[in-house]
Structure 1
Amino acid sequence: MSKRKMTRRTFLGLAGMGVATGLAACAAPTGRPSVPAVSGGPATPAVPTPTTAPQANVLGKVLPPDAAPLDKQVMVVFGGTPYTLDRFISMYQSSGLTSPYSLGLVRFNKNYDLLPAAAESWSPAEDGKKWIFKLRRGIKWSDGNELTAHDYVATFQLGASPEHAWDFAWYYLNLKNWGEATAGKVPVSEIGVKALDDYTLEFEATSPAPYLPSQLIWSVPLSKAALEKHGKFYNNDVATSVTCSPLKLTEWSKDKRFVLELNEKYTGPAEMIPWYTKFVSEVPAAIDAVTAFQSSDVLWMRTDATTGRVAEADPSLADQVYWMYGDFRTYFVGFNFAMKPFDDIRVRQALSMCFDRAPIVQAVAGRGGVPAYTFLAAGFPGSWENSPEAKTIQPFDVEKAKQLLAEAGYPNGQGFPKLEIPVTPIGGQTASLIAQGFAAEVKNQLGIEAEVVNRDWRVFIEEVRTNRAAAVWVDSYGMDYLDQSNMLGVFTSNRLTNWNNETYDAMFNEAAAYAGPKEERDAKFYEAEKMVLSQFVICPLYHERIPYLIKPQVTGPGMEPDKIGVRGSHWPDDYGLGEFWFTTYIKNM
């Protein structure tokens, strides 16, 4: 969740949130292509022979027969010590395994099905703007107080407080009066988060919001009583920390490590109880990451693409590298419709169709990138990337590209202005090299002079905001929450590429606001995304994959393949108590 890479937040200044602004429609959905499963990650290991008698931890969860003893169920990760462990105090100055003190309303499994956590159910009001969440009764904070709707209200009001100046406040701008509250124009009591009673929460958005339950993945509350008694940093001290999750803080050595152990007072959902008895987050040693991983007790580590490739080349580590979705980031070539000749679709088609992305992505990125033919990566809700149709929208066809360029008035590239293609350093060497590969193909296949230039990220974003962006550029976009509206909203009018299309706006708004069956909503988004691709608004390059190092003694259901065959630690495991942490354990080796 890097706040520097492009997400919805980056473009708020261009045209608002990119979420639903229209009314739901009742038209029948068109067909979507079928999507076959693919494999990913190392092969699933065989089930080992049981070696120990059954054991149960302090919360009564019985270890599998092949598990190591209870005192060995210690998950050690490289994550360091953050400014806070509470997401509503800071999203961007926190660390992996944070939000350990409380339960969000909802959670995801590895297939990105939305499941109950602190909420037992949720339902929309008739207008689609309001959502009612019913809390589970009997969930207790470790100080004996019950978790209630008032804890959530107090937490969201803190997030909207201009004095608090929360670094993630932009995320909830779709809630009623949220922006006005953060600007100090209305009191925080007027935001669209209300406690109807102790166990009933009401969220109200500014427009129909079928995506809102998914957006609330970060709804991890603070204790209202502890806030009032100790202030907002009460969880930074073991003596005053309060938890309603399966974990409690037992040690925090600044700049060294923090330790979480099982909370024996936990009364929440049993399915969220870990097998692990302890979680330890350590600052890595001042040596290279691979060596640190190999020479320590660390079992899990998120790393960068370069380190992932180094580890993969080491025979002793190759089967411990897992390339995962991350934030479903897609790198693409963007075309500026406000600059000639890119207002001509034939020019955009020519540049897109002259690039054979598959061999270049494979050569440069390896498993760190998947050739992209759609904007939504495989695994993202509603994605049709793996369907046979995907590759037909923007096919690799050099002869057709040359023909289209000639028809546009530039035979063999004659008279075409030289292209400077900015790329920011955010994507690292992989993005830069693939951008250079694109520029080389444009020059070699079409005769157009093209050069990749490095651009400071802040300068680039300011150019986009003020309509001074280059004619062509390479960058990326990643999701903030798992809904197509969050990704595809970037193509609405007055946004990323200066493509202003009322038909697309209407299609997007209809899909985003549609509260009917998921299959019908997915079909509407499919038509909208297909329009973006068929109009060559962008040329998708590759979907980024993030490497994780996970040692072989980590096993369990959480390490089994997801529905498209990908194994390992899934988003949002990096950012909270995700499913991976309570569906894996350490086996005897």
Structure 2
Amino acid sequence: MLASSDLDYLDPGRTYYQMGVVVAQATQRPLYRFAPDDVSKRLPDMAASAPQVSADGRTVTVHLRHGVKFSPPVNREVTSADVKYAFDRIFSANVAAPYSSYFRQLEGAPATPTKGVKSVSGVTTPDKYTVVFKLKPNSAPAFVGALVLPVSAPVPEEYAKPFDEKTSSTYNEHVVATGPYMVKNDASGKVTGYAPGKRIELVRNPNWSKATDSRPAFLDAVDIRTDATDTTIASLQVLAGKGKVLGQPPPPTILKRISTEPAGRVSQTVDTGGYRFVPLNTTLKPFDDVNVRKAVSAVYDRESVLLARGGRSAGPIATHFLGPGIPGFEEAGGLKGPGADYLKAPGGDPALAAEYMRKAGYADGKYHGKQTFLLAGANDPQSKTIAEITQDQLARLGFRTRLKFVAADALFTTWCSTPAKRVLACASSLAWLKDFPDPEPMLRPVFHGDAIAPTNNTNYSQLDDPAVNRAMDAAAATSGAARGTAWGAIDRQLVDLAPAVPIDWDVATLIHSPDVEGVASMYFDGWDLSYTALRAK
């Protein structure tokens, strides 16, 4: 795999971004997962059967599969205690797990991260193969949905705890696997197959048994090069090579080139259900004024961004946040959206933008302050182009900005996710993909006030609107048709507050060499390495 950027973490409790999930899906066994081509039904993975939810929605019981073993050097069978420890550790400041917000509804979950790993009373293990989760009221739907996340993969306490006791856990450098693959390590367990910014070497997990797993795991090994920063050259190498895949969507020139190829020969297309957006920091004046934010949305040339991403093949221009295929999409207005005037012109409407600036108190429709605002962007060519487009849109309204370009992984782990950096906007545009196919994880982590955190922050706009927070808290308890209705209404609220500019609903095109039988996952929108294979001659 030729990739333009690294993963964030190998540790399943810490990984969050796509490359980390690609690796985790091949090396770990969360409680549940999805088949590559179907996200409508959860499949038991580390679990042996569907979760049992009590009538009052306060208790979820999961029975585990027998015979699953950890990779060397642990080499023993996974038990319920390992699943409990995986959940205990995500609330530790030492681990700083980004998905902890999904599990705060556990009874006994700490309100703030703990020093060291503490036992959570709401996770119990009545026997070796059973885990019981006790929940706060009105939280079962999202909790059960989140059990597909990498964070639910078992972690052996006796092995991992010494690493987790470090101020910043070093389990990432010693991680063990339960899936068909593992990151190459030495006899002590220290990872040797990971060179940050260069390479990730996946080899077979000798303790994996096909008898306990439905994944075929055809490949003997996967060499992931994370230094293929020129995506055009990498794409050409993939198309002309043998046994190669590209680790991210190709640039526009390559998309045009492969458009005449028969479907499936060198590419796979995935409708992600995700959205791309440019968040605006609502804590920075004057962007704390909703009319200023609406002005940015009104002036923003989303068509230019889409063109930079390959045109309409990259996805339709968004008119709100929830994407096609996610409950609430139609209730929020479908493709037409709620009808906000400042999102009606995909190429931008400078006159309307000036009108909103005047509503914010700027008589001539432009900002004349002396402040220079910080924009952060990824340093690959496509992201640079999009960041410069963002800078130009802000300049049209009178805002002076400074662009800082960093590696894509650093953009997320250091800049956009750290409020203290005072970044006005992640100018390259961000893609918010589904953690699981439900409206709550599409909106709550990005726009609920409780998601704001000093590190690993996912509420990039730092929106903390009481009405939105209350609506999300109430919608969390809904299910069925009521769930789509509730979250669709919240989507409309968010459009009214304009904390971000919605760009498009993401469609991912992935390319592979002609001799590769590439299998793309509809869940995480990347290559599913446990299903991808080499074609027979």
- Normalising by structure 1, report the TM-score: 0.64
- 1:527 is matched with 489
State how far apart, in whole Å, the 2-side matches of 1:86 and 1:417 are.
Answer: 44
Total equivalences in the alignment: 481
1:449 match: 398
Correspondence list, 1:411-430, <5 A: 412-413=364-365, 417=369, 422-426=374-378, 428-430=380-382
1:376 paired to 2:307: no
| Distance in 2 (alpha carbons) for counterparts of 1:449 and 1:584 | 50
1:212 aligns with 2:140: no
1:298 aligns with 2:243: yes
Corresponding letter in the other structure for 2:335: P
Sequence identity (%): 18
2:52 matched to which residue of 1? 123
Pair 1:244–1:387, CA change in 2 (3 A): same
Q: Which amino acid aligns with 1:112?
A: V
Q: Partner of 1:527: helix, strand, or coil? A: helix
What is the CA distance between 1:131 and its match in structure 2?
Answer: 2.2
Distance, in Å, in 2 between the alignment partners of 1:236 and 1:399 is: 54
Q: How far apart in 1 are the matches of 2:215 and 2:354?
A: 57
SS at match of 2:441: helix
Shift of 1:262: 8.0
What is the aligned partner in structure 2 of residue 509 from structure 1?
473
Aligned to 2:222: 280
Question: Once the two structures are superposed, what CA deviation does each residue of 1:90-116 show, in whole Å capped at 9, x if it has no partner?
Answer: 778968534655522100234433332
**Deviation sequence 1:476-509 (CA, Å, 0-9, x none):** 4635823433342343458555655433222111
Residues 1:388 and 2:335 aligned together: yes
Match of residue 365, structure 1, among 309, 326, 332: 309
Helix, strand or coil for the counterpart of 1:339?
coil
Shift of 1:475: 5.5
Q: Does residue 201 of the first structure (1) align with residue 131 of the second (2)?
A: yes
**Equivalent residues of 2:308, 2:386 under 8 A apart:** yes
CA contact (8 A) 2:319 2:336 kept: no
Distance 1:525 1:299, change over 3 A: same
Report 1 or 2 for greater relative contact order, CA contacts < 8 Å, sequence distance ≥ 6.
Answer: 1
In 2, the alpha carbon distance for the partners of 1:469 and 1:196 equals 47
Measured in 2, the distance between the counterparts of 1:335 and 1:90 equals: 24
Q: Which secondary structure does the structure 2 equivalent of 1:454 belong to?
A: strand
**CA 1:245–1:353: 2 relative to 1, 3 Å:** closer
Structure 1 residue 221 corresponds to structure 2 residue 154: yes
CA distance in 1, matches of 2:427, 2:498: 14
Kindly provide the amino acid, as one letter, of the partner of residue 536 in structure 1. A
Give unmatched runs, 5+ long, in structure 2.
187-191, 406-410, 453-459
Where in structure 2 are the equivalents of 1:54-65 lying within 5 Å?
none
Distance in structure 1 (CA, Å) of the matches to 2:68 and 2:316: 42
Give the one of 430, 447, 451 matched to 1:491: 447
Change in Cα spacing, 1:204 to 1:310, as seen in structure 2 (3 Å) is: farther
C-alpha contact (below 8 Å) 2:266/2:511 kept by paired residues: yes
Match of 2:95 in 1: 166
- Following superposition, the deviation at residue 208 of structure 1 comes to 3.8
* Deviation by residue 1:114-157 (Cα, 9 ceiling, x = unmatched): 33223201133455454221234565678996543233224444
CA distance in 2, matches of 1:247, 1:421: 44
Shift in Å at residue 302 of structure 1? Answer: 0.4
Q: Which ranges in structure 1 are unaligned for 5 or more consecutive residues? A: 1-75, 559-567
Q: Alignment partner of 2:203: what SS?
A: strand
Aligned pair in 2 of structure 1 residues 97, 169: CA closer, same or farther (>3 Å)?
Answer: closer
Q: Which residue of 2 aligns with 1:46?
A: none
**Which of 217-226 and 101-110 deviates more?**
217-226
Is the Cα contact below 8 Å between 1:331 and 1:544 reproduced in 2?
no
For residue 524 of structure 1, give the secondary structure of its aligned residue in structure 2.
helix
- Secondary structure of 2:30 counterpart: coil
Matched AA of 2:308 = V
- Between the aligned partners of 2:366 and 2:98, the Cα distance in structure 1 is 50
Give the Cα separation in 2 of the matches to 1:102 and 1:469: 34
Helix, strand or coil: the match of 2:222? strand
* Structure-2 separation of matches of 1:413 and 1:264: 63
Deviations 1:20-40 (A, max 9, x none): xxxxxxxxxxxxxxxxxxxxx
Matched residue, 1:587: 535
**Relative to 1, partners in 2 of residues 1:546 and 1:424: Cα closer, same or farther, differing over 3 Å?**
farther
| Paired residue type of 1:512 | A
Question: Which residue of 1 is the match for residue 33 of structure 2?
Answer: 107
Q: Measure, in 1, the Cα distance between the counterparts of 2:176 and 2:428.
A: 46
Deviations 1:196-230 (A, max 9, x none): 223321224566432122322212224578879x9
- Equivalent in the alignment of 2:513: 551
SS in 2 for 1:289: helix
Cα deviations by residue, 1:142-199 (Å, 9 ceiling, x for unpaired): 899654323322444455667xx335376366244454796248x7334532112233
1:53 aligned partner: none
Q: How does 1:45-56 map to 2 (within 5 A)?
A: none
Compute the RMSD of aligned alpha carbons: 5.1
- Equivalent residue number for residue 189 of structure 2: none
- Return the offset for 1:511: 0.8
* Distance in 1 (alpha carbons) for counterparts of 2:185 and 2:427: 47
State the 1:583 CA deviation.
4.7
What are the superposed Cα offsets for residues 449-469 of structure 1, whole Å, 9 maximum, x if unpaired? 24442147657766x459x66
Cα–Cα, structure 1 residues 478 and 84, in superposed 2: closer, same or farther, change >3 Å?
Answer: closer
Encode CA deviations 1:47-100: one digit per residue, 9 max, x unaligned.
xxxxxxxxxxxxxxxxxxxxxxxxxxxxx7779999996625877896853465
Residue 308 (structure 1) aligned with residue 251 (structure 2): yes
Which TM-score applies when normalising by structure 2?
A: 0.69
What's the secondary structure of 1:539's corresponding residue? strand
Contact 1:308 1:547 in 2 (8 A): no
- Give the CA deviation at 1:250: 8.8
Q: Quick one: structure 1 residues 221 and 421, their matched pair in 2 at CA, closer, same or farther if it must change by over 3 Å?
A: same
SS in 2 for 1:376: coil
